[in-house]
Amino acid sequence: MIDQASLSRTVDAVNEAAFDRKTLPAAERTRTARWIAARQGLPGAYGGTFAGFPTERADGIQVFTGERITSASARHILGEEASRALRLLRVRDPKVEAALERSDQGIQACLVRAALDPRHANPGKFCCGKCSVGLWRNLLSGGLDRREERLRRGVGEFLRSQRAGQGKWRVFPFWYTVLALAEMDLREARQELTYAAPVLERAAERAPPANRHGKRRHELARRALALL
């Protein structure tokens, strides 16, 4: 589960277990949670969240659905995804819980600062499309505040305004966005999945690709369409 040289790949392994509905042994969950928690607040961490390794900060990361994210967005999304991974692991450990609380406080402070900018009046938006999806994924795991408001307005206003036609969105990574939408029990999310359905149908009709991310996208397309 733990990749000693990569926080993003360790988080990816946690996400994969959750996506595959795999039950992890308690000892493995605890060991992984403590390892992730130890990355909190280290140099390179975004807003007091969890720091990737130097190569991840230099080269960026891949999210669960395969899109590559770089620069400050990679640091931010990795922090949100690591927070989510700790919640998925469900480990009751004082050090893990304290690290997660400090991470939440850091992101909340970023959200408060963003809200002071009149250009960022939507509480469900975090600077750009890809970073907003990272925020939504953390919210969906139970983190942060104003969960329903942030998700409804983020999806119903910001995402909807970025429709580019033919089931795609501007500024939003398609599959990473669908991954978040498929977890939301919201009318706004269903509307956006319905909009994206032509793309999802084509993906689901094809044979599953051989590569890891292609397989995930194929299964995600099937699951998202089943919600409609």
Residue-wise pLDDT for 7-62, tens only, equals 999 999 999 999 999 999 999 999 999 999 999 999 999 999 999 999 999 999 99
**105 and 172, same domain (yes or no):** no
CA distance 107 to 109: 5
Q: What percent of the chain stands above pLDDT 70?
A: 100
Number of domains in the chain: 2
Mean per-residue pLDDT, 101-106? 98
CA distance 221 to 82: 24
> Of the candidates 218, 195, 220, which has an alpha carbon nearest to the alpha carbon of residue 205?
218
**133 and 221, same domain (yes or no):** yes
pLDDT in the model for residue 133: 98
Q: Which two tokens stand for residue 39?
A: 């990355």
Could you report the per-residue pLDDT of 139-193, keeping only the tens digit for each? 999 999 999 999 999 999 999 999 999 999 999 999 999 999 999 999 999 999 9
CA distance 226 to 151: 21
Rg (CA), the chain: 17
The H or E element containing residue 155 is none
**16 and 70, same domain (yes or no):** yes
Q: Which two tokens stand for residue 41?
A: 């607040």
Q: Which of 85, 116, 147 is the last residue of a domain?
A: 116
**134 and 70, same domain (yes or no):** no
pLDDT in the model for residue 148: 97
- Which phi and psi angles does 129 have, rounded to 5°? -65, -50
pLDDT band for position 92 (50/70/90)? very high
Range of the domain at 84: 1-116
Q: Which of 116, 139, 159 is the last residue of a domain?
A: 116
Q: Is the pLDDT of residue 119 over 90?
A: no
Q: Cβ(1)–Cβ(13) under 8 Å? A: yes
Q: Which of 91, 116, 141 is the last residue of a domain?
A: 116
Q: Is the pLDDT of residue 138 over 90?
A: yes
